[in-house]
Homo-oligomer: A and B are copies of this chain.
Amino acid sequence: MYAAQHLRRGSVEVTLIDRRNFHLFQPLLYQVATGSLSPGEICAPLRGILSKNRNTRVLLGEAADIDPEARRLTLTDNSTFEYDSLIIATGSKSSYYGKDEWRGWAPSLKTVEEATSIRHKILYAFEAAERVDDADHRRAWLTFAIVGGGPTGVELGGALAEIAHHTLRHDFRSIRPQEARIIILDGAPRVLSAYPEDLSQRAERSLVRLGVQVRSGVRVVNVDANGVRFHTADGREQDLPARTVLWAGGVTTTGFGRTVGQRTHATTDKGGRIQVNPDLTIPGFPSIYVVGDLADARNPDGKPLPGVAQVAMQGGAYAAKAIVARLNGPKELPPFRYFDKGNLAVIGRGAAVADIFGLHLSGYLAWLVWVFIHLMYLVQFQSRIVVFIQWGFQYLTFSRGARLITGTAVTDSTHPGSTLRNTAEEQ
């Protein structure tokens, strides 16, 4: 999207192909999963964003294959497109480290559908707990395990704690939602391991204050309907009975990303990311740019770049400028250099950590920075106002307006009340 926007004034014809018709503002997806916002509030239709770009066509379609010699792209419906320059930004999907059978029990947070499905799972767990008499079953329904202590895991943990301790506080008669246990299982020795150590510690203290348990240095060895089995840091095996397991683990490239790597004989790392030249092209294919999570890119000083939105946005803009520069004459652009504006992770109401130009912030101030920046980066002005109002109400009342159990949950096939889920659709 950023590349298309930066190609607007070039004398080029642009075709943007995406398998979704909207741009998803990923950093707020956890708020859809936890009932604060609706999908429409954090998504913007691609056609709407680019409707003023008269040189740009938007097509709904999914890339399937590429012939880099013939400069031809094939979609899943077998239609083909020839190109002069190609920018590939197919990103990443969540990785279960080879255990794809866990996906059914522990949804991850990458798409709008997964977010509403996680929302379903979380809210349904409280509903089921209210109706179960057996104390152990109730406890398992009220236990929420989050695998992964990166920004997504921390956000989910903080939001779950607020739901249990505040939002649902007066809503049940048989259970006390405050009894819910929220546990982050992290493979690293500390949460937010990509952040400076002092910020990690502050984040963990904030989580504990919210009532979230953090188990660091653990290795998950199984996930199923009953919960999680893991090895602790000192090697013991433990079972955590939990009816709700959320996956906030690592990422890997998509199927098309791997195909690109094979067709171009590129060097890829174990996550499937493609090693690119300093100008973000694939070695040997100067007309193919790779940006975002699919690229294993480095700054001129050799420092590898993280898989975050800022890198993808700047990479897209760079590729667009490089294409226009090449068209306009012999002078080429200098190598891509990522301008790191810093890192921000939110934990909950009034609690965040920020590392901005080396300045370490935490608590309320960091949270205000987080709120401001995330409102500003929402693409549609309309969404900014609506999200601002939703947040304002939530801040004042602790209520979360989008607490809907809709669609189908990813799993839930094993519990007795599972017939509840689909009846409204079957009608």
Contact = CB atoms under 8 A, between A and B. Distances in A.
Interface of A: 19-22, 35, 37-41, 43-45, 47-48, 51-52, 57-62, 76-77, 79, 93, 110-114, 123-124, 127, 130-131, 168, 170-174, 254, 380, 382-383, 385-386, 389-390, 393, 397, 399, 401-407, 416-417, 419-420, 423-425, 427
28 contacts: A19-B420, A21-B405, A22-B403, A22-B405, A37-B40, A38-B41, A39-B402, A40-B401, A40-B404, A45-B401, A45-B403, A48-B399, A59-B131, A60-B130, A60-B131, A61-B131, A61-B420, A76-B419, A77-B417, A77-B419, A79-B131, A113-B407, A382-B389, A382-B393, A383-B401, A386-B390, A389-B389, A407-B407
Given A77-B417, A386-B386, A401-B382, A57 B171 contact: no
B112 A406 contact: yes
B127 A21 contact: yes
Copies of this chain in its oligomeric complex: 2
Contact of A20 (B60, B110, B114, B405): B405
Nearest to A124: B60
Contacts of A427: 93, 110-111, 254
A114 B38 CA distance: 17
Q: With a 10 A CB-CB cut-off, give which of A59, A77, A130, A404 has the most chain B CB atoms.
A: A404
Contacts of A110: 427
Contacts of A402: 38-40, 43
A425 B51 contact: no
A93 B397 CA distance: 35
A-B CB proximity, top 8 nearest:
A40-B402, A38-B38, A38-B40, A47-B171, A60-B127, A45-B403, A382-B393, A51-B170
Nearest to A424: B111
A152 B57 CA distance: 34
A172 B15 CA distance: 12
A41 B79 CA distance: 39
Given A61-B131, A407-B407, 17 more contacts: A21-B123, A21-B127, A21-B404, A38-B38, A45-B171, A45-B401, A59-B130, A59-B131, A61-B420, A62-B420, A77-B417, A112-B404, A254-B427, A382-B389, A382-B397, A386-B390, A386-B401
Nearest to A388: B389
Given A76-B419, A389-B389, A52 B170 contact: yes
A62 B423 contact: yes
Contacts of A37: 40
Given A60-B131, A131-B61, A389-B382, A111 B417 contact: no
Contacts of A52: 170
Contacts of A174: 57
A399 B51 CA distance: 11
Contact of A111 (B39, B61, B123, B425): B425
Given A45-B404, A171-B51, A382-B390, A424 B20 contact: yes
A44 B423 CA distance: 19
A57 to B, nearest CB: 5
A420 B389 contact: no
Given A60-B420, A62-B423, A427-B110, A22 B404 contact: yes
Contacts of A44: 401
Q: With a 10 A CB-CB cut-off, give which of A57, A60, A168 has the most chain B CB atoms.
A: A60
Given A52-B170, A59-B131, A43 B407 contact: no
B113 A406 contact: yes
A236 B22 CA distance: 43
Contacts of A382: 389-390, 393, 397, 399, 401
Contacts of A419: 62, 76-77
Contact of A48 (B40, B171, B390): B171
Contacts of A170: 51-52
Nearest to A123: B21
